[in-house]
Structure 1
Amino acid sequence: MEKLHVNDLNEAKNVINLAMITGQMLIKNGAEIYRAEDTIERMCACVEEIHEVEVFGLSSAIFVSAQYEGETITMFKDIESQGIHLARIDAINSFSRKFVAGQISLKDAKKELYSISTMEKCSLPLAILFTGLCSASFAIMFGGDWFDFAYTFFVGSVLGLSMRITSHYDMSFFPETFIGTMVISILAFIGASASSRLHMDMIIIGSIMPLVPGLQVTNALRDIMSGDFVSGMIGITKGIFVALAIALGVGFILNIQKIIGG
C-alpha cells in the first residue's frame, strides 16, 4: 500500500490533529483505549513524512508525539465521555480504514468525521422500548413471572426516558446512575405495594441491569490485557463507583420502605 504524503509542517499537524480527533471520538463513544491508540498510530504512520508516533491514551485525555523532518510535534486533547454509541464507533472505524488506505483526502476526511460526530442516537421511542424489553427480560431470567415481566417493562421504559432526560444535563455518571436507580426503586415499591402478584426484588434486579457497567468493566479488562494498565484501572474504578451508585439508590428507597412499613 502506497503511503500518503504531506507538503509542509502545517499539513503534518493537520493529519496528526485529525487522527487525535478520531481517537478522541472513539473513547468518547465507549471504545477501548487501546483501539483509540492503535487508530491514531495507524492514521499518523500512513503518512510518509511522519515518524516515531507515540500515543498515550486515558479515558479523560490523549497525548500524541510525532516527528516531522526532525521536528517534534506534540498534541493533547481532553475527553468528556458521551456514553455508549456503537454506531459511531463502527462509522469511525470504517472512516479510519479508508483514510489509511488513501481512499479519502484530508479535506474530505474532516467533513466525514464531522458528519459522524453529529450522528444521532436511536430515537427516544426506540430507546424506551428496548430499555423496557431489556429490563423485563432480566426480570424473567432471575426468576420473576409474567406479571413481573409486564410491570418491569413499564419500569424499564420509565428508566429509558429518565436516562435520556438526564443525559441532556451536564451531570456526572454517579448522580445520573443514582437518580435512575431511585426511579426504579420507587416504582418497584409502588407496584409491589399495590399488587401482591408483583415481586419488588425481581422488578428492581431486572430494571437495574441497563445501568450495570458491564461494557465499561469489559473494556477495562481488555485494556489491562493489552498492557494499558492505567487506563484499565481507571475503567474498573469507574465501574466500581457506578455499582456503588446503584447500591446507594436501591438502599435508600429500601430504608424508606422499612420506615414506612415499620
Structure 2
Amino acid sequence: MTTIRHTTTDRHELETFLCDYAATLLECGATTVRIEKNVLRMAEAYGSETEVNIYPRHVEVVVKGKAAGSIIVRSKATCLCAVNYHTVKSLSKLSLHCRERHLPLGTAIMLYRKVTGTPRIPFPAVTALTSLANASFCRLFGGDGMAMLIVLVATACGFYVKDALHRKWHIDPRLSIIAASCISAVMSCSARVFSWSGTPDTALATSVLYLVPGIHYMNAVSDLINGHHICAMSRFITASTTTICLSAGLYLCLLIMNINIM
C-alpha cells in the first residue's frame, strides 16, 4: 500500500485531525468498532500507526510515527449531539478515499470540514418524517386510520415540545422527554375520550414510540460484543434513563386522564 510522507508540521496536523475525526464519529452515534477501523485506516494511509481509546465523553488517539518513531497522544472531549448517520457514512467514505486515492492531508481535512459543515435536515422536515414513522408504527400494531392520524398529530406536538424545551429553554433533556411523552400520550387519549377510534389502546401505546432510544441500545450491544465494556455500559445506562423518562411521562398521563390499563 502506498503511503504519503509528511513533514513535522503535517504530522501535527495529522494528529489533531485524527482526534477531531474520531470525536466527530463518536458524537454522531458511530459504534466503537467503526471508529477504530476508520481511524486506523486513515492513519495507515498517511504512514502512521494509531491506537484509539474511546470513553463515554471523550476520545484519545495515540499516534506513532513510523519514520520518526515518536509517540504523541491527543485527547478531545465530545459534546451531546443528535445521531447523524449521514455524517458517519460520509466520514467512513472519506477514510476509504484517503487509503485508495492517496488524498493529500490538506485535501482530507478540507473534505472533513465540508462534511461536518453540511447543514442538517430542517427541523420541520424531521418532525414530519418522525410523525409519519410513528403513525406507521401505529398501523403496524393494528391501529385504524383515525388512530394513525391521532398518533401523527400527537407525535408532532410532542417532538416539537421536546426540542423547544431542550434547545430553546435549555431544560434538562430528561425532563424534556418526560414532558414530551406526557403531552403525546394525553393527546392520543382523545381516541378513547371522544371515541374517535376503534383502537384507542394502540394509539396510546404507540404515541410515545418515537422517544425510544433504539440506536443507543443497538450501539451498546455492538460495543459489548467488541469488548468496549465502558462505552457499552454508558450507552446502555443513557438509553435506559431515556426509557424510564418516557415511561414516567406515560404514567403521568394515565394519572391525569384517570385511565386504568389493568
Global fold match (TM > 0.5): yes
8 A Cα contact 1:213 1:239, kept in partner: yes
Distance 1:211 1:134 in 2: 12
1:56 maps to which of 53, 57, 72? 53
8 A Cα contact 1:162 1:180, kept in partner: yes
% identity of equivalent residues: 17
SS at structure 1 position matched to 2:64? strand
Q: C-alpha displacement at 1:88, in angstroms?
A: 1.1
Q: C-alpha displacement at 1:77, in angstroms?
A: 0.6
8 A Cα contact 2:189 2:204, kept in partner: no
SS at structure 2 position matched to 1:255? helix
Distance 1:96 1:232 in 2: 24
8 A Cα contact 2:18 2:61, kept in partner: no
> What aligned pairs does 1:84-233 form with structure 2 within 5 A after superposition?
84-166=83-165, 168-169=167-168, 170=170, 172-197=172-197, 199-233=199-233
Distance 1:220 1:110 in 2: 30
Q: C-alpha displacement at 1:199, in angstroms?
A: 4.8
Distance 1:232 1:171 in 2: 26
Unaligned runs of 5+ in 1: none
TM-score, L = length of structure 2: 0.88
The verdict on how the C-alpha distance between 1:200 and 1:88 changes in structure 2, with shifts beyond 3 A counting, is: same
> What aligned pairs does 1:8-47 form with structure 2 within 5 A after superposition?
8=8, 10-47=9-46
Deviations 1:79-114 (A, max 9, x none): 113111111111111112112334422222222211
SS at structure 1 position matched to 2:103? coil
Amino acid at match of 2:61: V
Amino acid at match of 1:112: L
Q: C-alpha displacement at 1:76, in angstroms?
A: 0.5
SS at structure 1 position matched to 2:51? strand
Compute the RMSD of aligned alpha carbons.
Answer: 2.1
8 A Cα contact 1:131 1:159, kept in partner: no
The verdict on how the C-alpha distance between 1:22 and 1:181 changes in structure 2, with shifts beyond 3 A counting, is: same
Q: C-alpha displacement at 1:186, in angstroms?
A: 2.5
Distance 1:133 1:55 in 2: 39
SS at structure 2 position matched to 1:67? strand
Amino acid at match of 1:59: P
Q: C-alpha displacement at 1:162, in angstroms?
A: 3.1
Distance 1:104 1:141 in 2: 47
Amino acid at match of 2:121: C
Instruction: Answer yes or no: is 1:237 the counterpart of 2:234.
Output: no
SS at structure 2 position matched to 1:54? strand
Amino acid at match of 1:89: V
Deviations 1:136-176 (A, max 9, x none): 11112223222101111111222343344346345554233
Deviations 1:218-241 (A, max 9, x none): 111111111211111111111111
Unaligned runs of 5+ in 2: none
The verdict on how the C-alpha distance between 1:96 and 1:224 changes in structure 2, with shifts beyond 3 A counting, is: same
Distance 2:107 2:171 in 1: 34
Distance 1:202 1:224 in 2: 33
TM-score, L = length of structure 1: 0.88
